Amino acid sequence: MLKLEHIYKWVSSGGRRIFLLNDLNLKVEEGEFLSIMGPSGSGKSTLLNVVAMLDDFQEGEYFFEEEAIHSLKPKKRTEIFNQNIGFIFQAYHLLDDLTVYENIETPLLYKKVKSSERKALVADILDRFNIVGKKDLFPHQLSGGQQQLVGIARALIIKPKLILADEPTGNLNSKQSDEIMGLFKDLNNDGVTIIQATHSESNAEYGSRTIHLLDGTVQKS
Amino acid sequence: MYANKERIYRVIFNTKEDRNNEIWATVPAALKPAAEEGIPEVEKSARLWDHDFGKTASIQADNQNFTEEKLYYADSEFFDIFQIDFIYGNAENQLDRPNTGVLSESTAFKYFGNINPIGKTINIDNKIKLEVTGVYNDFPGNSSLDGNIIGSFKSIGFYKEPSWSNASFETYFLLNKDADPTAVNTKMQKLIDANVEKEDQWYTLDLQPLERMHLFSANIKSAYTSKLGSIEEVRNFSLLAILILLIACINYMNLATARSQKSTKDVGINKTLGASQKILIARFFTETAFVTLIAIILAFPLTFLSLPVFEKIVGSSLSLNFLLSLEFLGAILAIWLITTLIAGSFPALHLSRFSPMEVIRSGRDKESFSAFLRKGLVIVQFSASVILIIASVVIYNQLEFMRNKNLGYNPENTMAVSIAALKSNAERETLINQFESISEVSSATMAQGYPGISVSGRTLYKNMNSDESTPLKTNRTKGGVVETLQLKLLAGKDLPENKQETDSIVDVVLNKNAVDFLGITPQEAIGKNIIANLGPNAYVIGVVDDFNFSSLRTPIGAYAFNNGFEPLRYMLVRFKSNDLPQTLGKFKETFGEIAPTVAFDYTFLDSHVEQMYASEKRTAQAALTFAGLAIFVACLGLFGLAAFMAEQRTKEVGVRKVLGASVSSITRLLSKDFITLVVIALMIAFPLAYWMARKWLQEFSYRIEIGWQIFAIAGILAILIAAVTVSFQAIKAAISNPIHSLKNE
């Protein structure tokens, strides 16, 4: 599905280069559930941002379904991202002023989906996640686990091929965490490719493959 | 300025109802001698007469011709009351003798160059000769008195036969040290009672302190000085200045509370560390005071730099000497304190009130009040700006309207040449004949006055036995006046070209208004004998359509051209010219051949019309300048607020971008709130502006309709300006990379 080859990303500090990604190679097949592990600062988030095309890199090649991302214009990249990728944050990042329903609906608005279709899609996913009763609540009225559930629902609403999750359970307790991971497993079984960054061994085990990142390079696969 | 300024008074003339209770600055010449005898409080008194009732004088000096608008005749006490330094000659005993006069320094230089002109003679209108007996320092720029030449009062006929009925003389009293002006008023009334029959008393007299003359004389007519201020204008300007200062204060409050979201944490920490509310309030006020102080210090050099702009607006040169005076510095200190109090109050009280926990815990609810207030303040700012925009547009439209209105006569390509100084009627006849033979002249006539300047005031009676009357302006002219002014003849004919001096019949051309008053049609009016103090044999020979003979502020009244007996002061000339300087040269040459001792003094009728609206033009300029300033300041505030809001919403923007929002949708999202505020401001401003504009327009008898277009223009302009201001910030936020704002905590 996607292929990263010899990716280098650095920032300059005091004339020296600090490498965030250092000759990183990664291949992810369609239908995989990949867990990325590594200590803080090892480049997990940076890697996810690069995969999500939200962040640039200085050297290397990135192919997403045969598309050479490194040579595309920003606008085209954004388009590919919007069509194919859902992003889930550790801090949920729900929009405070919007209800659960509106939060989930937002990506569809940006994709200019028709109103009737939007209603059907949102109703569908609320039902699937068992949060129909919460649809008119605001984020601060929900627990962390429920908020992350909304975050996932929001990422899934556009039916992405790939889900990127940056420590999705980092702010949750273990029970909530297990529920979310179970949900990921189900999604994966339905054919969605998932890449998650995590600190937790037990979460990583939900995945079909785990890689370890240290100083911006893959340790073993 | 004058040593005795608090004891100097001008006598004011209050007319009674039959003259519309008008207030004049000129009083009868008989008052001064009577007051000197009958009112012991009057220490000194002096009369002034504006040459030929305010007409421009033609002066011959050193065989050169000049025109002079500021020629007065004054009693010898004048320089005792107003102490002016003399360069040549003494201040004492000036103006004592008939046919003497003094010149201002600049006038003396203009006439005679750099020599001592004492003993030289100037010839005024070929009628009066004055021997120069002194040269005085020009009246200072802030003096209301403005004479360039002052002749002795004894040089004119009114000195020998002062009357109680001709109120044409400005009169100044210097009262005793302990004199009570009200007592003087009573004594002046006694003098009137003693000298004027009760039924002929159409006025009362009053005193106006010299120090109130400049600003509080707006409703006083026939004053000599042109250097008139208006307290109204001073108040309006002050109000606008306060408005702008208030908008600036609002900005400060807005930005301070906006920033407070960041500094609330700071406050909370300080409070947990034991700072009392008092200390915190003091801290905020100190901060504000410091900012205001810097602004005040910056304002001084800026005032100097922007002086030319101010001078252009008020139309006179300004002195900045007051900047370092004690009163002014005191006022600045007061402004500093008040500004600090207003601008600092909200942040100080609002922020220091927070309980520590409430402040440290970042929640949504506590923001709402200050957010609400900020929005309210932005609305106030924009309402004020929009009102100013509408005001300037309305004033400009009214000016345009007045400039383009069909006046009922054609002021273009028409000039009025002063001929009062010509020696004889025969000379005038020659002059007009010569002018008519110039190819550029299409018609010419002679007249007592022309539209826009005062002519004789008479009363038109409905018929012989009726008391029903209307004020009638009468203007003595020669034949051809209808043709020269291009008036529209409704019935009858123009005044005849030839009329014998001895002929006692007065031909009259009435305007439509006068005929309407008489209750007849223009056709019926022809041949009618009218009762209007024009003599027993005044017959209507023509009727013209109404025309605006005075400014558009006043409605058209009754008017009559006639070939009666008043002196002819102007030659009105209609001309065609492709090369104005050349034509003027020709005119001047022709004039000089016939009247070599008279200056060629002329006025274009259209520029005279423009001049009538000079004060409106100033108001428009001021309104425009202030509107610009207010909008600029309001935009500064909006800009800062938008920057803050964008910063506050960076996280949201990031999330939305990750969810697929485009740059334009983010820009729209961030701008929408502000545009809504501006739209609300418009809703508030429109009715207010409409009301104010209507009130202002009431002053004009001829005025524009306030159309919706004005509001549309102002509205679109305000929204556009706000959109540009806000979208800059919004776009900046929208194109930023979302990952920076979404870093995990």
Whether the CB-CB separation of A197 and A45 falls below 8 Å is answered with yes
pLDDT tens, position by position, B307-340? 888 787 776 777 777 777 888 899 999 999 998 9
| DSSP label of B171 | E
Task: Decide if A54 and B658 are in contact by the 8 Å CB cutoff.
Answer: yes
For chain B, the first-to-last Cα distance in angstroms comes to: 73
* Interchain contact, B744 vs A140, CB within 8 Å: no
Which chain A residues are Cβ-neighbours of B658 within 8 angstroms?
Answer: 52, 54, 87, 93
Contact B744 A158 (CB under 8 A): no
Helix (H, G, I), strand (E, B) or coil at B121: strand
Paired strand residues for B59: B66, B124
pLDDT above 70: percentage of residues in chain B: 95
Binary contact (A110, B742; C-beta < 8 A): no
Per-residue pLDDT, B353: 65
pLDDT of residue B282: 84
CA distance B271 to chain A (A): 27
Q: Do A54 and B738 touch (CB under 8 A)?
A: yes
pLDDT at B363 over 70: no
Query: Nearest 5°: phi and psi at A195?
Result: -125, 120
Q: Do A110 and B661 lie within an 8 Å CB cutoff?
A: yes
Looking at the DSSP bridge assignments, the partners of residue B336 are none
pTM for the model stands at 0.69
Closest chain B residue by Cα to residue A82: B660
pLDDT tens, B221-261?
888 887 777 788 788 888 888 888 888 888 888 777 766 66
Query: Which of the two residues, B79 and B271, has the higher pLDDT score?
Result: B79
pLDDT reported for residue A137: 93
Distance CA(B486)–CA(B172), nearest Å, equals 44
CB contacts of B660 in chain A (<8 Å) are 82, 107, 110-111, 158
Assign B103 a pLDDT band (cuts: 50, 70, 90).
very high
Average pLDDT in the B28-39 region? 93
Q: Distance between CA atoms of B154 and B73, rounded to whole angstroms?
A: 8
Per-residue pLDDT band for B136 (boundaries 50, 70, 90) equals: very high
A→B contacts (Cβ < 8 Å), by residue, are 45, 49, 52, 54-55, 82, 87, 89-91, 93-97, 106-107, 110-111, 140, 154, 158, 166-167, 170
Give me the pLDDT at residue A78, please: 83
Conformation bin of residue A192: beta by default, left when phi > 0, alpha when psi is -120 to 50: beta
Distance (Å, whole) CA B328 – CA B130: 45
Q: pLDDT tier at B262 (50, 70, 90 boundaries)? A: low
Predicted confidence (pLDDT) per residue in B470-504, tens digit: 889 999 999 899 999 999 999 999 998 887 777 78
Q: B319 versus B24: which is more confidently predicted? A: B24
Q: Could you give phi then psi for residue B562, rounded to 5 degrees?
A: -150, 160
Rounded-to-integer distance, Cα B155 and Cα B152, Å: 6
A54 has pLDDT over 90:
no
Q: Is B651 touching A (CB cutoff 8 A)?
A: yes
The answer to whether B654 and B741 are in contact (CB under 8 A) is yes
Q: Do the Cβ atoms of A109 and A118 come closer than 8 Å?
A: yes
Lowest mean pLDDT among A124-133, A145-154, B270-279, B319-328: B270-279
Residue type, A209: R
pLDDT (0 to 100) of residue B361: 45
Residue with tokens 């020709």: B586
- B651, B661, B739 ranked by CB distance to A55: nearest: B739
Who among A55, A93, A167 is closest to B651 (CB)? Answer: A93
Statement: residue A221 has pLDDT above 70: no
From CA B212, how far away is CA B216, in angstroms rounded?
6
Q: Which residues of B touch A167 (CB under 8 A)?
A: 744
> Is B745's pLDDT higher than 50?
no
Judge contact between B19 and B99, C-beta under 8 A: no
| Digit-coded pLDDT (tens) for B634-653 | 888 888 778 777 777 888 88
Q: What's the rounded mean pLDDT across residues A89-107?
A: 89
Query: pLDDT class for A103, splitting at 50, 70, 90?
Result: very high
Tens digits of residue pLDDT in B269-313: 777 777 777 787 888 888 889 989 999 999 989 988 888 887 877
Name the average pLDDT for chain B: 86
- Start-end of H helices in B519-597: 522-525, 580-594
C-alpha B457: how far from its chain's center? 25
Mean pLDDT value across residues B341-366: 63
A75-108 as b/e: b if 16+ CB within 10 A: eebbeebbebbbbbbbbbbbbeeebbbbbbbbbb
Which helix (DSSP H) or strand (DSSP E) does residue B225 occupy?
Answer: none
pLDDT tens digit sequence for B374-390: 788 888 888 888 888 88
The 10s digit of each residue's pLDDT in B489-543 is: 999 999 988 877 777 889 999 999 999 999 999 999 999 999 888 888 899 999 9
Q: What is the mean pLDDT of residues B585-609?
A: 90
Q: Is B652 within 8 Å of A55 when comparing Cβ atoms?
A: no
* Chain A, nearest residue to B652 by Cα: A95
Percent of chain B with pLDDT over 90: 39
Residues of chain B found within 8 Å of residue A150, distances taken between Cβ atoms: none
Residues 6+ apart with CB under 8 A from B497: B478, B479, B480
Given this model, what pLDDT does residue B263 score?
65
Task: Average the pLDDT over B695-703 and give the result.
Answer: 87
Reported ipTM: 0.84
Q: State yes or no: pLDDT of B264 exceeds 70.
A: no
Taking CB atoms and an 8 Å limit, are B659 and A110 in contact across chains?
Answer: yes
